[in-house]
Amino acid sequence: MAKDKSVQTHSTGAEVEAFLKKVALTARPVKTAGRGRLIFAMDATASREPTWDRACHIQAEMFSETAALGGLEIQLAYYRGFREFKASPWVAEAKALLQQMTAVSCLGGHTQIERVLRHAIRETKEKKVAALVFIGDCFEEDLDRLGQLAGELGLLGLPCFLFHEGADQTARRAFEQIARLSGGACCSFDAGSAQQLKDLLSAVAVFAAGGRKALADFSARKGGVVRLLTHQIT
Exposure class string for 27-41: b at 16+ Cβ within 10 A, else e:
eebebeeebbbbbbb
Say which residues have a Cβ less than 8 Å from residue 150's Cβ, sequence separation at least 6.
117, 160, 177, 178, 179, 180, 181, 182
pLDDT digits (tens, 9 = 90+) for 127-176: 999 999 998 999 999 999 999 999 999 999 999 989 888 889 999 999 99
Domain over 31-227 is classified CATH 3.30.1050.10: no
Are 225 and 20 in contact, with CB atoms under 8 Å apart? yes
* Amino acid at position 40, single letter: F
Reported pTM: 0.80
pLDDT digits (tens, 9 = 90+) for 158-170: 999 898 888 899 9
Beta-strand relationship, 72-80 and 84-87? antiparallel
Boundaries of every domain in the chain: 31-227
Distance CA 195, CA 58 (A): 9
